[in-house]
Amino acid sequence: MKITDFTGIFSRTSLTIDSIDNPHDDYYVITFDYPEGLTWDPGEHGIFTLPGKKVKGRSFRIFSVASSPSENKLLIATHANEPVSGFKQALFSLSKGDKVNMVGPFGWYKVKDATSPVVLIAAGIGITANRAMIKQLEHDTRRDVFLVYSSSDTHLFKEELDRIALSNPKFRPFYTTGRDQTRETYLKLAENLGNDATYYVAGKPKSVKDISKRLRENNINFTHIVFDYYLGY
């Protein structure tokens, strides 16, 4: 973590909604118009509030930005766990043209260097920050990028990730559904790549903690693991 990872905390932006999509089950993808002049490192997150909306309960949520600035849009994605919170009910009721405020983006979860192999491990909705990093590395054919994406239900963005894998053979996604299959997949990568790679782990805190512990038990040095705990889940 560096001080520069937090400079974005001083940035406040009024975002304009372009669309709110509900592509699968309880998953929502919210697209904002590209905020002119704003940039961010893929993997960073922002603090979102809903101006002028009465929100039952906590009035803000943190979401990772799921897009890279090169896409000319700002995306977030979330899962509406039952019971759907007051914040998410208010968020999903918005429409095109409505405003959402964001502090950031900022954060430490980002690609650390230009050459070493990248192993992205997404626990469920942890795909959001990882999607942004995959879009950043989409055309990078110099190094291997692996994605281990675990979800017990839907693999959000799967079609798009498969398209990227077709056009860049250096990008290899693995979709897993259970804890054992997920563990087996990332530990196999750890065995093959060892400390030559950097491991990025994002998602629910319990899963991130467990994955990080297993990686360390399998000889991956702490300095080669970057975490993003989605606190609040």
Ligand X SMILES: Cc1cc2nc3c(=O)[nH]c(=O)nc-3n(C[C@H](O)[C@H](O)[C@H](O)COP(=O)(O)OP(=O)(O)OC[C@H]3O[C@@H](n4cnc5c(N)ncnc54)[C@H](O)[C@@H]3O)c2cc1C
Chain residues binding ligand X by CB under 6 A are 45, 61-64, 77-79, 81, 83, 85, 87-88, 125, 128, 228, 230-233
Closest separation in Å from C-beta 128 to ligand X = 3
Amino acid found at 118: V
Spatial separation of the C-alpha atoms in residues 86 and 55, rounded to whole Å = 6
- Report the residue number, 87 or 200, with the smaller CB distance to ligand X: 87
| C-beta of residue 42 within 8 angstroms of C-beta of residue 136 | yes
Are 102 and 15 spatial neighbours (Cβ–Cβ below 8 Å)? yes
Comparison of 58 and 112: residue with beta carbon closer to ligand X: 58
| In the complex, least distance from residue 188 CB atom to ligand X, rounded to whole angstroms | 27
Beta strand residue intervals within 25-110, DSSP E: 27-33, 45-49, 60-64, 73-79, 99-106
- CB of 44 closer than 8 Å to CB of 107: yes
Residue nearest to ligand X (CB): 232
Distance from C-alpha of 2 to C-alpha of 7, rounded to nearest angstrom: 10
* Cα–Cα distance list, 84 to 9, 13, 36, 63 (Å): 28, 26, 32, 16
Specify the residue, 37 or 83, whose C-beta has the smaller distance to ligand X: 83
Nearer to ligand X, 107 or 173 (CB): 107
Nearer to ligand X, 77 or 197 (CB): 77
